[in-house]
Amino acid sequence: MEKIIVAISREFGSGGRLVGEIVAKKLGIQQFDRSLIELAAEKSGLSTEFIEKSEEQATSSFLFSLAASAQAQSGYFMHYDTPITDKAFFAQSAVIKELAAKGSCVILGRCAGFILKESSDLLSIMIRGDLEDRIRRCRDEYKLEDQDIKNLVIKRDKARANYHKHYTSESWYDTRAYNLVLDTTYMGIEGAADAIIAAIEAHKNLR
């Protein structure tokens, strides 16, 4: 199989992680989600809990740039005057680039599509779904017991959008940033995974 990096952004409760798992299994490659956080924690010395929390607290004050990318690659994220939340992002960016350099994989979130946007091997995807469908999935499939699941879903989406805007200066919802935007309410989890596989095959035939 030719090298392919599948970067998946996803609305909370859309089933993006499940879609990624199916794609990774069908292609015989690894998916990185929680494991990416653990690798970034090892690289930076920060705790996994802090890195996860930093993804929920991003504002619009710091814009990711090529210079910042170079700092992440060089290990500058450990410099004493770099804000600690940015160190977490730099560490994850460095890990994402290392994983992509090693071979084919599926990467969930963490601005991977932006970080790797210059790569010819990248397939950038947004997974979305209707709000009510995502609420149902969180309740019935994810077994979340939050008293106000609707508010939780909206809050998680806002956090992801803020994180993306914070480090890319781009809107998380801008469809021009993705090769594919897939709606799991319309086509289901398996259907979305099949569409990704079909897109990979179609792209391969163009080469």
Can you spell out the DSSP letters for 20-85? HHHHHHHHT-EEESHHHHHHHHHHH---HHHHHHHTTS--SS----HHHHHHHHHTGGGSTTS-HH
Q: How many domains does the chain have?
A: 1
Pairwise CA distance, residues 91 & 83, whole Å: 12
Q: Would you say residue 126 lies in a domain?
A: yes
> Nearest-5° angle of CA 82, CA 85, CA 88?
95
DSSP 8-state assignment for residue 200: H
Q: Would you say residue 104 lies in a domain?
A: yes
State the pLDDT at residue 57.
63
Q: How much is the CA Rg of the chain, to the nearest whole Å? A: 17
Pairwise CA distance, residues 34 & 150, whole Å: 24
Per-residue pLDDT 10s for the chain (207 aa) are: 789 999 999 999 999 999 999 999 999 999 999 899 899 888 888 888 888 777 666 554 444 444 444 444 444 444 445 667 788 888 899 999 999 999 999 999 999 999 999 999 999 999 999 999 999 999 888 888 767 999 999 999 999 999 999 889 999 999 999 999 999 999 999 999 999 999 999 998 887
CATH of the domain at 187: 3.40.50.300
Is residue 122 left, alpha or beta, with left meaning phi > 0 and alpha meaning psi from -120 to 50?
beta
Range of the domain at 35: 5-201
Overall pTM > 0.75: yes
> Nearest-5° angle of CA 116, CA 121, CA 126?
60
Q: Would you say residue 165 lies in a domain?
A: yes
- Calculate the alpha carbon distances from 206 to 194, 197, 199, 201, 202 in Å: 19, 15, 11, 9, 7
Q: Would you say residue 55 lies in a domain?
A: yes
Q: Would you say residue 206 lies in a domain?
A: no
86-88-91-92 Cα dihedral, nearest 10 degrees: -110
